Protein backbone atom coordinates (compact mmCIF):
# COMPACT_ATOMS: atom_id res chain seq x y z
CA UNK A 1 0.00 0.00 0.00
CA UNK A 2 1.44 3.45 -0.90
CA UNK A 3 2.58 5.42 2.14
CA UNK A 4 0.27 8.35 1.35
CA UNK A 5 -2.78 6.08 1.28
CA UNK A 6 -1.73 4.38 4.50
CA UNK A 7 -1.25 7.76 6.15
CA UNK A 8 -4.74 8.87 5.11
CA UNK A 9 -6.19 5.79 6.80
CA UNK A 10 -4.24 6.18 10.03
CA UNK A 11 -4.00 9.93 10.51
CA UNK A 12 -7.21 11.90 10.98
CA UNK A 13 -8.22 14.45 8.41
CA UNK A 14 -8.40 17.27 10.92
CA UNK A 15 -11.30 19.18 9.43
CA UNK A 16 -13.27 16.51 7.55
CA UNK A 17 -15.66 15.43 10.31
CA UNK A 18 -16.03 18.93 11.72
CA UNK A 19 -16.79 20.29 8.25
CA UNK A 20 -19.42 17.64 7.64
CA UNK A 21 -21.10 18.19 11.01
CA UNK A 22 -21.00 21.95 10.60
CA UNK A 23 -22.75 21.49 7.26
CA UNK A 24 -25.32 19.31 9.04
CA UNK A 25 -25.95 22.07 11.58
CA UNK A 26 -26.23 24.63 8.79
CA UNK A 27 -28.83 22.55 6.96
CA UNK A 28 -30.79 21.92 10.16
CA UNK A 29 -30.84 25.66 10.80
CA UNK A 30 -31.99 26.38 7.25
CA UNK A 31 -34.81 23.84 7.56
CA UNK A 32 -35.89 25.17 10.97
CA UNK A 33 -35.89 28.71 9.56
CA UNK A 34 -38.07 27.55 6.66
CA UNK A 35 -40.47 25.92 9.13
CA UNK A 36 -40.65 29.06 11.23
CA UNK A 37 -41.41 31.09 8.11
CA UNK A 38 -44.30 28.74 7.30
CA UNK A 39 -45.95 29.62 10.60
CA UNK A 40 -45.32 33.35 10.15
CA UNK A 41 -47.00 33.48 6.75
CA UNK A 42 -49.23 30.45 6.41
CA UNK A 43 -49.42 30.12 2.65
CA UNK A 44 -47.78 27.95 0.00
CA UNK A 45 -47.26 25.26 2.61
CA UNK A 46 -46.70 22.33 0.18
CA UNK A 47 -43.97 24.24 -1.65
CA UNK A 48 -42.24 25.27 1.55
CA UNK A 49 -42.53 21.75 2.95
CA UNK A 50 -40.94 20.45 -0.26
CA UNK A 51 -37.94 22.74 0.32
CA UNK A 52 -37.60 21.34 3.83
CA UNK A 53 -37.78 17.79 2.41
CA UNK A 54 -34.93 18.64 0.02
CA UNK A 55 -32.85 19.88 2.94
CA UNK A 56 -33.67 16.69 4.84
CA UNK A 57 -32.45 14.65 1.86
CA UNK A 58 -29.21 16.63 1.86
CA UNK A 59 -28.88 15.85 5.56
CA UNK A 60 -29.26 12.13 4.86
CA UNK A 61 -26.44 12.29 2.32
CA UNK A 62 -24.20 14.04 4.84
CA UNK A 63 -25.01 11.39 7.43
CA UNK A 64 -24.00 8.71 4.93
CA UNK A 65 -20.73 10.53 4.20
CA UNK A 66 -19.94 10.74 7.90
CA UNK A 67 -20.48 7.01 8.45
CA UNK A 68 -18.40 6.13 5.39
CA UNK A 69 -15.58 8.37 6.64
CA UNK A 70 -15.79 6.86 10.13
CA UNK A 71 -15.48 3.36 8.72
CA UNK A 72 -12.45 4.31 6.64
CA UNK A 73 -10.55 6.38 9.19
CA UNK A 74 -8.61 4.56 11.89
CA UNK A 75 -7.73 7.60 14.00
CA UNK A 76 -10.15 10.51 14.31
CA UNK A 77 -9.74 13.96 15.91
CA UNK A 78 -12.34 13.11 18.58
CA UNK A 79 -13.83 9.76 19.63
CA UNK A 80 -15.73 7.77 17.00
CA UNK A 81 -18.66 7.54 19.41
CA UNK A 82 -18.74 11.31 19.90
CA UNK A 83 -18.80 11.95 16.16
CA UNK A 84 -21.50 9.32 15.64
CA UNK A 85 -23.67 10.60 18.53
CA UNK A 86 -23.42 14.26 17.55
CA UNK A 87 -24.01 13.61 13.86
CA UNK A 88 -27.01 11.37 14.61
CA UNK A 89 -28.49 13.95 16.96
CA UNK A 90 -28.13 16.74 14.40
CA UNK A 91 -29.81 14.47 11.86
CA UNK A 92 -32.66 13.79 14.32
CA UNK A 93 -33.31 17.52 14.68
CA UNK A 94 -33.55 17.85 10.91
CA UNK A 95 -35.84 14.82 10.66
CA UNK A 96 -38.20 16.30 13.26
CA UNK A 97 -38.36 19.60 11.38
CA UNK A 98 -39.34 17.63 8.29
CA UNK A 99 -41.91 15.64 10.31
CA UNK A 100 -43.53 18.86 11.56
CA UNK A 101 -43.80 20.24 8.02
CA UNK A 102 -45.32 16.95 6.84
CA UNK A 103 -47.92 16.97 9.62
CA UNK A 104 -49.18 20.35 8.46
CA UNK A 105 -50.02 18.76 5.11
CA UNK A 106 -51.16 15.33 6.31
CA UNK A 107 -53.58 16.81 8.84
CA UNK A 108 -54.62 19.68 6.57
CA UNK A 109 -53.99 22.22 9.31
CA UNK A 110 -55.98 25.28 8.25
CA UNK A 111 -54.62 27.69 10.81
CA UNK A 112 -51.71 26.92 13.15
CA UNK A 113 -51.90 28.18 16.72
CA UNK A 114 -49.69 30.96 18.13
CA UNK A 115 -48.00 28.35 20.35
CA UNK A 116 -46.92 26.37 17.29
CA UNK A 117 -45.42 29.49 15.73
CA UNK A 118 -43.58 30.30 18.96
CA UNK A 119 -42.14 26.78 19.24
CA UNK A 120 -41.02 26.85 15.60
CA UNK A 121 -39.36 30.22 16.18
CA UNK A 122 -37.55 28.88 19.24
CA UNK A 123 -36.34 25.88 17.24
CA UNK A 124 -34.96 28.18 14.54
CA UNK A 125 -33.08 30.15 17.20
CA UNK A 126 -31.76 26.97 18.82
CA UNK A 127 -30.44 25.58 15.55
CA UNK A 128 -28.70 28.88 14.86
CA UNK A 129 -26.92 28.48 18.20
CA UNK A 130 -26.13 24.84 17.40
CA UNK A 131 -24.55 25.91 14.13
CA UNK A 132 -22.26 28.28 15.99
CA UNK A 133 -21.51 25.71 18.70
CA UNK A 134 -20.52 23.04 16.18
CA UNK A 135 -18.28 25.57 14.48
CA UNK A 136 -16.63 26.31 17.83
CA UNK A 137 -15.46 22.71 18.35
CA UNK A 138 -13.24 22.86 15.25
CA UNK A 139 -10.43 24.05 17.48
CA UNK A 140 -9.61 23.97 21.19
CA UNK A 141 -8.95 27.70 20.84
CA UNK A 142 -12.68 28.33 20.44
CA UNK A 143 -13.97 25.83 23.02
CA UNK A 144 -14.74 28.68 25.42
CA UNK A 145 -17.47 29.92 23.07
CA UNK A 146 -19.50 26.73 23.45
CA UNK A 147 -20.75 27.47 26.96
CA UNK A 148 -22.56 30.61 25.82
CA UNK A 149 -24.33 28.78 23.00
CA UNK A 150 -25.16 25.90 25.35
CA UNK A 151 -26.72 28.28 27.90
CA UNK A 152 -28.84 30.01 25.26
CA UNK A 153 -30.10 26.70 23.85
CA UNK A 154 -31.04 25.57 27.37
CA UNK A 155 -32.84 28.86 28.09
CA UNK A 156 -34.80 28.48 24.88
CA UNK A 157 -35.71 24.89 25.81
CA UNK A 158 -37.05 26.05 29.18
CA UNK A 159 -39.12 28.74 27.47
CA UNK A 160 -40.45 26.14 25.01
CA UNK A 161 -41.54 23.91 27.90
CA UNK A 162 -43.60 26.76 29.33
CA UNK A 163 -45.21 27.48 25.97
CA UNK A 164 -45.96 23.79 25.38
CA UNK A 165 -47.51 23.29 28.83
CA UNK A 166 -49.74 26.34 28.44
CA UNK A 167 -50.74 25.25 24.93
CA UNK A 168 -51.81 21.83 26.19
CA UNK A 169 -53.91 23.41 28.94
CA UNK A 170 -55.70 25.53 26.35
CA UNK A 171 -55.94 22.70 23.83
CA UNK A 172 -57.90 20.39 26.11
CA UNK A 173 -60.63 22.99 26.55
CA UNK A 174 -61.63 22.45 22.92
CA UNK A 175 -64.54 20.17 22.08
CA UNK A 176 -63.49 18.80 18.67
CA UNK A 177 -61.59 15.64 19.61
CA UNK A 178 -60.12 15.14 16.13
CA UNK A 179 -58.71 18.65 16.04
CA UNK A 180 -57.34 18.22 19.54
CA UNK A 181 -55.47 15.08 18.48
CA UNK A 182 -54.09 16.75 15.35
CA UNK A 183 -52.90 19.84 17.17
CA UNK A 184 -51.42 17.84 20.03
CA UNK A 185 -49.36 15.67 17.70
CA UNK A 186 -47.98 18.74 15.96
CA UNK A 187 -47.20 20.42 19.27
CA UNK A 188 -45.53 17.21 20.46
CA UNK A 189 -43.41 17.08 17.32
CA UNK A 190 -42.23 20.67 17.75
CA UNK A 191 -41.54 20.17 21.45
CA UNK A 192 -39.58 16.99 20.73
CA UNK A 193 -37.51 18.85 18.14
CA UNK A 194 -36.68 21.53 20.72
CA UNK A 195 -35.72 18.83 23.24
CA UNK A 196 -33.53 17.10 20.66
CA UNK A 197 -31.76 20.37 19.92
CA UNK A 198 -31.08 20.70 23.65
CA UNK A 199 -29.75 17.13 23.76
CA UNK A 200 -27.50 17.89 20.79
CA UNK A 201 -26.07 20.83 22.71
CA UNK A 202 -25.25 18.43 25.55
CA UNK A 203 -23.25 16.24 23.16
CA UNK A 204 -21.27 19.28 22.05
CA UNK A 205 -20.65 20.31 25.65
CA UNK A 206 -19.48 16.78 26.50
CA UNK A 207 -16.98 16.86 23.65
CA UNK A 208 -15.54 20.12 24.95
CA UNK A 209 -15.27 18.72 28.49
CA UNK A 210 -13.47 15.59 27.22
CA UNK A 211 -10.93 17.44 25.13
CA UNK A 212 -10.31 20.63 27.10
- Contact 42/186 with Cβ under 8 angstroms? no
What is the rounded CA–CA span in Å between residue 77 and residue 158? 33
CB atoms within 10 A of CB 170: 12
pLDDT at residue 6, rounded to an integer: 33
What is the rounded CA–CA span in Å between residue 207 and residue 212? 8
What is the rounded CA–CA span in Å between residue 26 and residue 200? 14
User: What 3-state class would DSSP assign to 197?
Assistant: helix
What are the pLDDT digits (tens) for 119-155? 999 999 999 999 999 998 887 778 888 999 999 999 9
**CATH code at 3-211:** 1.20.58.220
Q: Which residues of the chain have pLDDT under 70?
A: 1-14, 73-78, 212
Amino acid sequence: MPLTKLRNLLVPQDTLFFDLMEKQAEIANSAAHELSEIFKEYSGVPEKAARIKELENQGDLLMRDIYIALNKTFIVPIDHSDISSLASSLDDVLDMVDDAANLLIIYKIEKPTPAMAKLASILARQTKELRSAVSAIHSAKTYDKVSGHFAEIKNLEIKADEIYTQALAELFTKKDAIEVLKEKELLDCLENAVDKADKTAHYISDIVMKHS
